[in-house]
Amino acid sequence: MKTFSGRANPVTGSLDWVEESEEYDYHQEIARSCYADMLHDHDRNKKYYQGIRAAVARVKARGEKVIVLDIGTGTGLLSMMALTAGADFCYAVEVFKPMAEAAQSIVEKNGFSEKIKIINKHSTDVTVGPDGDMQMKANVLITELFDTELIGEGALPSYEHAHQNLVQEGCEAVPHRATVYAQLVESELLWSWAQLQPVEVEGARLVPPPAVGHCAGAHSVCDIQLSQVSPHSFTPLGPLCTMFSVDFSKPVSSAFQSHSCQFAALSGGRGQVVLSWWDLDMDPSGSIVCTMAPSWTYPQPKTAPWRDHWMQSVYFLPVESRVTEGEELSLTVCHDDYSLWYSLQSHSQQDPQTAAPPLRPCCTCQAHLVWTRPRFGELNDRRRTESYVSALRSVLREDSVCLGVSDGSLLPVFAHMIGAKKVFCLENSRMSKQVIEQVLEANSMKGSVELLEIRPQQLTSSDLRGEQISVLMGEPYFSTSLLPWHSLYFWYCRTALAGLLRPNATILPCTATLHMVAVEFQDLWRIRAPCGSCEGFDVTAMDEMVQRSLDWRESSEAEPHPLWEYPCRALTRSTAVMTFDFTQCVPEQPISSQGSLPLIRTGRCHGVALWMEYHITDDITVSAGLIEPISEQGECVWSRHRKQGVYFFRPAWESSGDGRAAVSYSFTFEPSLGDIKMDFSIASQ
């Protein structure tokens, strides 16, 4: 059955009616999942296999039949490992129906269907008894319910229910134990993702609103590939602390808990950020360990396993605290059933034994709800700000009437500070408008920028007090943008506002260019690579399901990824493949571009990276992609503020690097759809 649903187009701003089907949602879920990444994680699979074999052996040594409960079975891989290790029967629970169907196909293909029962339910709905889902309680509990924060996927409630209802007392658990580690650091880079910093404009100082500086921030964890954050970017103020452990072989509680670690400060500084990760002991002795520690903790960083399904966590303290070397400190972690949060106390300020546990962070200033963490980093980027200020300084006059079109942007504030006669600003939401109002009030500029909560298509001359716009400006940044070219919404806004512009109006940025480079990824390719066989088991049914999902309606599209977290090498030079002239209205006819880039470096070409560069004026450019020239070896340095587009080749192409082969490309921008169609091939030159 086909249905149609309305969706806001992030480029044109219009409401598009899109053909749907009952299968669409789960196809997208599968296509965007990390199942391939997990199956390619040999370190994870190996440690699980070792732990399962050891647990099965311990139960057999007691003379018992081995009955396994596998919660969150996914592909059924861990259940098949248990059967291979000698288990007598497995109950494999998977709540996601398409995944349960794939698991059924996989266990059948590997000859385990008689000894593995797939149960398509949430584990808390599973029953035990003659007429239940399970005939008896299990004596081995296998789970993979973890996320970057360890407990964010509901591991604690699931374990709690399993111990009460589904497993025997004294059962063996794989993993046996999880331990959470944390380290207090000072980091200008990381802190810039949490708080708005003051900025100098024309000799004046723009300060953040007090409500923002005093706000505890967003409660959600910041999960990143911490291996890509150089140790030079932070200063450890304390040792690596063991915060708490959870023993999964015993009853588990999902109730609120807090744990503290006392230590003497290693150096003086500002306590701002907590870096955190966890590891899994697969057996009671702790001899089989799967760790999420970042690569720079390894004696040989290149030996660290890569995974995207489990990363590391960054927690921002509610307020930064001055710390002196040798000072006695207490770092406290609290958790409910789904999330963690941290706080820092000095022994000289209060007794950690009697202090009340800190409340879960909650944004009270609205800025942390309007601006994402990368957006905070972008607003705090001094070099980027100076580029925009320089551009504004070069075009503004005493009689300039400015209109800002971006979400939660400080450009209108800068325009006023530089001396524009009148500044208007369009905001897409009331909350965003209120945040900018706070900035204006904190700097005694209330009323100096007129904020309008109205769409560009609805703006009239009366809204502008009869003024005509002489400078239309944008970063451009829009909260609805996912892919780099979604910011072309600025172009559609400019077109809608054409009747309100002076004949010689300045458009800032004046143009934008779409750039591409063909790359070899160090690791990111794994998320889209077929698995075929995993630890000796045939999982092609999973590959087939993922491929069907990728082929579902949107198969030939790029994906958004923050490439600063995912190292890659350029195998071609970078080039601008398409130009968008904002000084003119959006054309009615499509814009097309074709060409080819010789493969000048050896490697496996996994795909192309795509990004936008904004030409604010003729001589000032801001890149949302590469921020440094590509090195001789092909190393790329990417902006941390925006996600880039990645178009994966399936399969990857081999490059000899002699320039005889080239990546041919074809791009077509469809103005009516606001979409860029792209196609790539490899050809000899």
Q: 455 pLDDT exceeds 80?
A: yes
101 belongs to the catalytic site: no
| CATH numeric code, 35-174 | 3.40.50.150
Nearest to 229 by CA among 305, 294, 147, 180: 294
429 by DSSP, 3-state: which? coil
Q: Cα-flanking dihedrals φ and ψ of residue 319, to 5°? A: -145, 150
Cβ–Cβ contacts within 10 Å for residue 480, how many?
A: 14
Q: Can you name the residues that pair with 567 across neighbouring β-strands?
A: none
Which 8-state DSSP code applies to residue 443?
Answer: T
Average of per-residue pLDDT values in the chain: 93
CB atoms within 10 A of CB 132: 12
Cα Rg, the chain, nearest whole Å: 28
- pLDDT (tens digit per residue) in 379-399: 999 999 999 999 999 999 999
For domain 381-508, give the fold. Rossmann fold (3.40.50)
- The domain 178-365: what is its CATH number? 2.70.160.11
Please state whether the predicted TM-score (pTM) of the whole model is above 0.75. Answer: yes
- Residue 544 pLDDT: 76
Same fold, 35-174 and 381-508: yes
- Sole residue written with tokens 């396993």: 305
pLDDT above 90 covers a percentage of the chain that reads 85
- Domain at 511-522+567-684, CATH class: mainly beta
Write the pLDDT tens digit of every residue in 93-123.
Answer: 999 998 899 899 999 999 999 999 999 999 9
One-character DSSP codes across 54-72: HHHHHHHHTT---EEEEET
What is the per-residue pLDDT for 540? 85
Rounded to an integer, what distance in angstroms lies between the CA atom of residue 162 and that of residue 126?
9
Domain chopping of the chain, boundaries: 35-174, 178-365, 381-508, 511-522+567-684
Q: For residue 528, is pLDDT > 60?
A: yes
What would the pLDDT profile of 124-175 be if each residue is shown by its tens digit?
999 999 999 999 999 999 999 999 999 999 999 999 999 999 999 999 999 9
pLDDT band at 271 (very low <50, low <70, confident <90, very high): very high
Which of these is catalytic: 144, 172, 327, 475? 144
94 assigned to active site: no
- Which entry of 20, 101, 108, 153 is annotated as an active-site residue? 153
SS (H, E, C) 299-313: CCHHHCCCCCCCCEE
